[in-house]
Amino acid sequence: MTKLILGIDAGNFKAKVASVHGVDSFKTNICGWFERDVEEEYEDFMEFEIDGRKGYAGSIAEAEDEFGDGAQYGITKAHDDTKIRVLLAIHRYMEKYNLAASSVYIVVGQPIATHKAGEKQHIIDLLKGKHDYVVNGKRRKITIEEVTVSPEGASAFFSNPQKGSISILDVGSGTVNMAVISEKKFIHKSSGTMDTGMETLKNKNDLDGMARGIVQATTKLKWKKDDTVFVCGGIANLILPHLKKHYVNAEVLKAVLTTEDEVIIEKPIFANAIAFYNIAKGVYK
């Protein structure tokens, strides 16, 4: 196999990847390289060298981060950490499914609020082209032939398309994307991005407070209590009861992935990645 098509959701807390073989995810914490006197074991351990930058990623970076550079939060993915996350995601996926692709075609995400031409082009410029890097001692040489940048949250619709008008809440670690899709068309005036996510809260367990903040933001966008609302993201199942206090028809988005062998209902954390892959299949036939 020489061509690989991937949907990659390079989140601030976890990266999620989807393709015809299945899914993968890993923590996206990053820290600088240091000599390890005691080599603790981590299931998602990654030691990398990318563009001359050496470091660790995954749970080890979460544990060892000294300078608070474990994750860049905010409403844009147009920065160097996204490049590292995407290249690690590609490496891990190829390792997991024993793939030998040299040409990679990807769809990645950008929050709705910053899904603008300049920001998208910055991401494309970061990712497109030849890459020669090392992960866990293994050299990986790939060419990212094409990059498409899709709006997070709104794109999640394509993980399980619905008729009529629906609203999507993509509750992430650094942002919440709020999207309205009507007859498969994105409604800009009713959509937006909160620059707050579960990992930026002072109290990360305050699901009720987070839900109230989401309701406040979406009612400003003129969402109605009886709207059909689908919730995705890693916290979807936990925050749903709190959101249903206002949005009575809210439910968790069931992300559908068609692999080589079967149709799989995946966890809502994979909704964007699966949607990106479904979009990629159409774009990169």
Angle at 48 between CA 47 and CA 54, to 5 degrees: 105
Average pLDDT of the segment spanning 251-260: 95
Query: Which residues touch 57 (CB under 8 Å, ≥6 apart)?
Result: 26, 27, 28, 29, 30, 31, 46, 48, 84, 85, 88
The reported pLDDT for the residue numbered 77 is 67
The reported pLDDT for the residue numbered 70 is 47
In this prediction, residue 202 has a pLDDT band, given cuts at 50, 70 and 90, of confident
Q: Please check whether residue 157 is in contact with residue 168, taking contact to mean a CB–CB distance below 8 angstroms.
A: yes
Domain 3-153+262-283 has CATH 3.90.420.10: no
- Nearest CA among 66, 56, 52, 58 for reference residue 33: 56
CATH of domain 155-252: 3.30.420.40
Residues of the chain with CATH 3.30.420.40: 3-153+262-283, 155-252
In the chain, the DSSP E strands lie at 3-10, 14-19, 22-27, 30-32, 46-50, 53-57, 103-110, 129-135, 138-151, 165-171, 176-182, 185-186, 192-194, 229-232, 251-252, 255-258, 263-266
How many Å apart are CA 181 and CA 188, to the nearest integer?
A: 9
Say what percent of the chain tops pLDDT 90.
74
In this prediction, residue 221 has a pLDDT band, given cuts at 50, 70 and 90, of very high
Average pLDDT of the segment spanning 167-171: 97
Indicate the average pLDDT of the chain.
91
- Nearest CA among 80, 131, 82, 134 for reference residue 104: 131
* Amino acid symbol at 128: K
Q: Which residue has the tokens 């995705």?
A: 232
- Nearest CA among 239, 221, 226, 241 for reference residue 180: 221
> Which is more confidently placed, 69 or 95?
95
In 94-184, the DSSP E strands lie at 103-110, 129-135, 138-151, 165-171, 176-182
The reported pLDDT for the residue numbered 4 is 96
Average pLDDT of the segment spanning 116-142: 95
